[in-house]
Structure 1
Amino acid sequence: MQHCDHSASTAELIANAEQRCLQRGTRFTPIRRRVFELISKAPGALKAYDLLDQLSDEHAAARPPTVYRALDFLIEQGLVHRIESLNAFIACSCPDHRSQFQLMICEQCGHVEELHDTRLVDMLEQVAQEQQFRLHRQTIELYGLCRRCQSGSPLNVY
């Protein structure tokens, strides 16, 4: 099982995103960059309308399609993950694993930990194969209490 390095700063995440887009020949436009920056700075997951509210303060012309197009691009590039059960988004600190990951979501503080447990991936792929099911993606979201919330540390320390 592999943990991603979640200690990267917002500036490091943005620099990595810019480099990734440059290598792939995709455009990291100012609005895409700003949406990614807002998600990267957030202590937990952000919903699209939270992003829209923040963008509207800066860009009067910001509309839902603008945000959703930017989010679609960021997901496609592996820079952002969508938390299906919350319909919210988090920055990915390890975009090379964009299709095989698990998320642990703290119900108390909202912290999201990204994991890459290949044992789970392999097991689910095997089950799908046995059932003659062609698997396109996996979404595994685990809810509970993070280490800090279990120990009674102050909230929002991430």
Structure 2
Amino acid sequence: MSNSKVAYRQHDHFRCQNAALQQARTVCARDKARLTPIRETVLRLIWQSHRPLGAYDIIDQLSESGGKRVLPPTVYRSLDFLLNRGLVHRLATLNAYIGCPFPGSVHSNVFMVCRVCGSAAESSVEAINSAIFATADRAGFAIESQSIEVSGLCPVCQDAERAESSDGAEGSGTQQSLGSVQESIS
């Protein structure tokens, strides 16, 4: 299972959002759980891009669009609901949330987070999963969840960095590269 190629290339986020919302409706129907309008809106915000989103970023976006301040408990309850159903993941190192492209399936998470543009992709690597579960089994440990976060450069930012270093430019080139990277990922 991998979502890494989609996250790092230019594509239609609207399709990602719609697919995620359809999967959420399916999961909620299966669990006989209610996907309320606020929960759906929070999920849609998380899926707007492949960048992890913090709870207070979500609060700010909801407050701007609704015209009144949304209280933190409202958003945290929605996030807990989405987390408990496997519709989103929490990235501990960033204290942020990202949509799960594989809800309803048992999988281990390896997140590749770009340190420049902030994009993130989820992947499940069988060799890593096997090693972790075998190690836990030998220790008599029952794994309930796991998440591995890897920081580095996405393909777009690698290309931008190579182009910048081949130009020998410093300073203003970095800002221009970051802007084009963010445009191409969105």
TM-score, with length taken from structure 2:
0.77
Question: Is structure 2 residue 76 aligned with structure 1 residue 68?
Answer: yes
**Offset at residue 96 of structure 1 (A):** 3.0
* Letter in structure 1 aligned against 2:135: V
* Structure 1: runs of 5+ lacking an equivalent: none
Q: How does 1:142-153 map to 2 (within 5 A)?
A: 142-152=150-160
Q: 1:88-143, CA deviations, whole angstroms, 9 ceiling, x for partnerless residues?
A: 00111111345511100010111111101121111011112222323222120000
Q: 1:55-83, CA deviations, whole angstroms, 9 ceiling, x for partnerless residues?
A: 12216262111000000000111111111
Query: Hey, what does 1:137 align to over in structure 2?
Result: 145
> Cα–Cα, structure 1 residues 90 and 69, in superposed 2: closer, same or farther, change >3 Å?
same
Task: Choose the corresponding residue for 2:97, options 53, 76, 89.
Answer: 89
Distance, in Å, in 2 between the alignment partners of 1:77 and 1:59 is 29
Q: Give the SS at the match of 1:151.
A: helix
Question: Is structure 2 residue 74 aligned with structure 1 residue 48?
Answer: no
* Alpha carbons 2:111, 2:121 under 8 Å: kept: yes
Query: Hey, what does 1:10 align to over in structure 2?
Result: 17
Which stretch of structure 1 is more off in the superposition, 125-134 or 141-150?
A: 125-134
* Alpha carbons 2:23, 2:103 under 8 Å: kept: no
Give me the CA root mean square deviation: 1.9
Identity within the alignment, %: 35
Distance, in Å, in 2 between the alignment partners of 1:155 and 1:43 is 13
> Cα–Cα, structure 1 residues 131 and 34, in superposed 2: closer, same or farther, change >3 Å?
same
Distance, in Å, in 2 between the alignment partners of 1:139 and 1:32 is 23
Structure ranking higher in helix proportion:
2
**Offset at residue 35 of structure 1 (A):** 0.5
Query: Hey, what does 1:155 align to over in structure 2?
Result: 181
Structure ranking higher in strand proportion:
1
* Structure 2: runs of 5+ lacking an equivalent: 161-176
